[in-house]
Amino acid sequence: MIEPLVKVNLSDMVVKKLQDLIAYSKYKPGDKLPPAKDLAKLFGIAYTTLREGLKKLQALGLIELKQGAGIFLKKDFFDVFIINPAIEVLDKDILDDLVYARKIIEVENVRLAVKNAKKKDLETLKGLLNKMKENLNDMEEFIKYNIIFHLTLGKVSGNKVFYQIIAGITDLIREEEKAIFTKVPELTQSGYTQHKNIYTALKERNEDRAVEAMKTHIEKVEEMIAHYVIRTGRRRG
């Protein structure tokens, strides 16, 4: 079967190439990168295309473009590199990896949240749930409160490592959901119901139900990704 051609944004390709260069070279925070013209020659692209990619990396907080001085890695670039995985080109493989990671981390996290959630935590989660319900027709706001709900669960669990991992993938989750809900906006209602089920199980201190609700939620996300992939024509290579 012949796969459809996918239009590639050259500046996004530059971002990926520069990301790989940073990841696999011996550059340290604050280091100066090769001149833009040298990078353009290295990658075999036009100088203007390279500049577009550099501006995107600067916006993401990875590099700093100093007029007359050159291109420098930000001093906190490693934190940005880890915490902002959305700099990767969003594709089917990454979405699959994200779902797999969430199955491991968030299911165990909610198990702890059932045991450690305090009354004020449940009130916070309830408020976020209400905000999600109020914004079923506003994708940006719905996704925002969805993300905060999961981050709050990370804090409620009491496991700082779980929280840091969840915080570290929020940008990628946000991009994932934007891609999905843009194509299938009616799924916000289903998403709200899934989060309500998680909250109800937490409130009842029912560990088995909470775990099952989180598993169901992530499985539904997996289905949504399949729906998204079909509608956009994206497939594994």
CA pair distance 177, 146, nearest whole angstrom: 10
Indicate whether 75 and 99 sit together in one domain: no
User: Is the full-model pTM beyond 0.75?
Assistant: no
Q: 187-203 and 119-134 are packed helices; what angle lies between their axes, rounded to 10 degrees?
A: 170
Structural domain boundaries, residue 128:
90-232
CA pair distance 72, 140, nearest whole angstrom: 33
Indicate whether 54 and 73 sit together in one domain: yes
Indicate whether 32 and 99 sit together in one domain: no
Residue 106 is which amino acid? E
pLDDT at 224: 78
Per-residue pLDDT of the chain (237 residues), as tens digits, is 443 433 446 767 777 777 777 666 667 778 899 999 999 898 888 888 888 888 887 876 778 899 889 999 876 655 544 444 444 445 566 778 888 899 999 999 999 999 999 999 999 999 999 999 999 999 889 999 999 999 999 999 999 999 989 988 887 788 778 777 777 778 899 999 999 999 999 999 999 999 999 999 999 888 877 766 544 444 433
* C-alpha closest to that of 74 among 89, 57, 86, 87: 57
CA pair distance 4, 221, nearest whole angstrom: 25
pLDDT at 230: 45
pLDDT at 6: 39
Indicate whether 21 and 56 sit together in one domain: yes
pLDDT at 182: 75
Residue 6 is which amino acid? V
pLDDT at 90: 53
The enclosing domain of 20 has a CATH number of 1.10.10.10
Residue 222 is which amino acid? E
The burial of 207, by beta-carbon neighbours within 10 Å (0-12 exposed, 13-18 middle, 19 or more buried), is given as middle
- The answer to whether residue 3 sits within a structural domain is no
* C-alpha closest to that of 224 among 188, 174, 171: 188
pLDDT at 25: 66
3-state secondary structure the chain: CCCCCCCCCHHHHHHHHHHHHHHHCCCCCCCECCCHHHHHHHHCCCHHHHHHHHHHHHHHCCEEEECCCEEEECCCHHHHHHHCHHHCCCCHHHHHHHHHHHHHHHHHHHHHHHHHCCHHHHHHHHHHHHHHHHCCCCHHHHHHHHHHHHHHHHHHHCCHHHHHHHHHCHHHHHHHHHHHHHHCCCHHHHHHHHHHHHHHHHHCCCHHHHHHHHHHHHHHHHHHHHHHHHHHCCCCC
- The answer to whether residue 208 sits within a structural domain is yes
Domain end point (choices 63, 82, 101)? 82
Beta bridge partners of residue 90, listed in sequence order? none
Counted domains in the chain: 2
